[in-house]
Amino acid sequence: MNTLPENSIDVLVVAAHPDDAELSCGGTIAQLTSNGKTVVIVDCTLGELSSRGTIEQRAIETQKANEILKVSGRVNLLMEDGNIELSKDNILSLIRSIRQYRPKIILCNPPHERHPDHENVHKLVRTAVFQSGLTMIKTEFNGKHQLPHRPDKLFSYMQTYDFEPSFYVDISDYFQVKMESIRAYSSQVFVAGEHNTQQPQTFISKPAFMEMIEARARYFGALIGVEYAEAFHSHEPIGFSSFAHWL
Ligand SMILES: [Zn+2]
C-alpha cells in the first residue's frame, strides 16, 4: 500500500556543486524524467569557489540544465563552498529536503573523491538519510511539522575517482541529452565556440575532460553490451525480484 503523501517524488539527487549531478548521472536523470519519473536536485552550495564564471552565470546555466533534464525542481541549501561541515545545521537542512520531497531513491556524491566537498556531502547524506527516519529528530517546513521519511535506496554516482560499481544504468538513448546538460555550464566546461580562454583553466575546463566523460560512458556501456552507461555504487546489497528483465 502506498501510504506516502502526494508530494513524494521518485528520485532526489544530492550534489555538492551545481553541475555535479549533470556530469555524473545526467543520463540517468534524463532517462528517469523521459519515462515520467519525478526527479528533484538538491545542490548544497552555489559553487562560489569556482575559478571560472560567476555565481549569477552559474545560476542561469543551472536553470538551462534543469530544462534540458526536465527535473521537477531544484533547490540550493546555500552551504559554504569548500567548507561543507557535518554540522547539526547542515544535517537538519538536508533532512528538511528529504522529508519535503520524500524520495524513494537518493543519489549522492561518492565517499572517496578528488574534491573534499564531494566526500563531505556523502557523509552528510548518509547521516541525514538515517536521521530523517527518526521520529525524535524534529523538523519544520513552512511552519509545519514534518513526518519522518527514509528513502528505500541510497546510491553513489561516480565522479573523478573510479570505484567498483554495484550496477550500471544504460543511458544510450539519453547520452546526448546528458552532454547537452553539461554544455549548459559553458563557464565551467569546454564548449566549442564559447570557450573563454581569458579565465584560468581548471580540471574540468579542458577539452580532454569532455572526452573523458564520453570515453568513460562508452567503456561502461561496452561492459554491459550497450552504447553508453553510468556507474553507481550501493552501500547495501541489492537484489532483483526476478529474472524478468532478461526473460
Ligand atoms: Zn563538485
Span from the CA of 160 to the centroid of ligand 1 (angstroms): 9
Predicted TM-score (pTM) of the model is 0.94
Span from the CA of 133 to the centroid of ligand 1 (angstroms): 27
Span from the CA of 115 to the centroid of ligand 1 (angstroms): 7
Cα 151 from Cα 10, distance rounded (Å)? 10
Beta bridge mates, 167: 232
Span from the CA of 100 to the centroid of ligand 1 (angstroms): 24
Query: pLDDT (tens digit, 9 = 90+) per residue, 97-116?
Result: 999 999 999 999 999 999 99
Phi, psi angle pair for 37, to nearest 5°:
-85, 150
Span from the CA of 218 to the centroid of ligand 1 (angstroms): 22
Cα 25 from Cα 27, distance rounded (Å)? 5
Cα 134 from Cα 154, distance rounded (Å)? 17
* CATH superfamily ID and name for 11-234: LmbE-like (3.40.50.10320)
Instruction: Quote the pLDDT of residue 6.
Output: 53
Cα 174 from Cα 169, distance rounded (Å)? 11
Domain ranges of the chain: 11-234
Cα 82 from Cα 85, distance rounded (Å)? 9
Instruction: Quote the pLDDT of residue 128.
Output: 98
In sign, the C-alpha dihedral spanning 90, 232, 19, 35 is negative
Cα 71 from Cα 130, distance rounded (Å)? 25
Answer yes or no: is pLDDT of 152 > 90: yes
Mean pLDDT of 49-73: 92
Span from the CA of 45 to the centroid of ligand 1 (angstroms): 9
Mean pLDDT of 34-52: 93
Beta bridge mates, 225: none
**Per the structure block, which three cell numbers stand in for 215?**
570515453
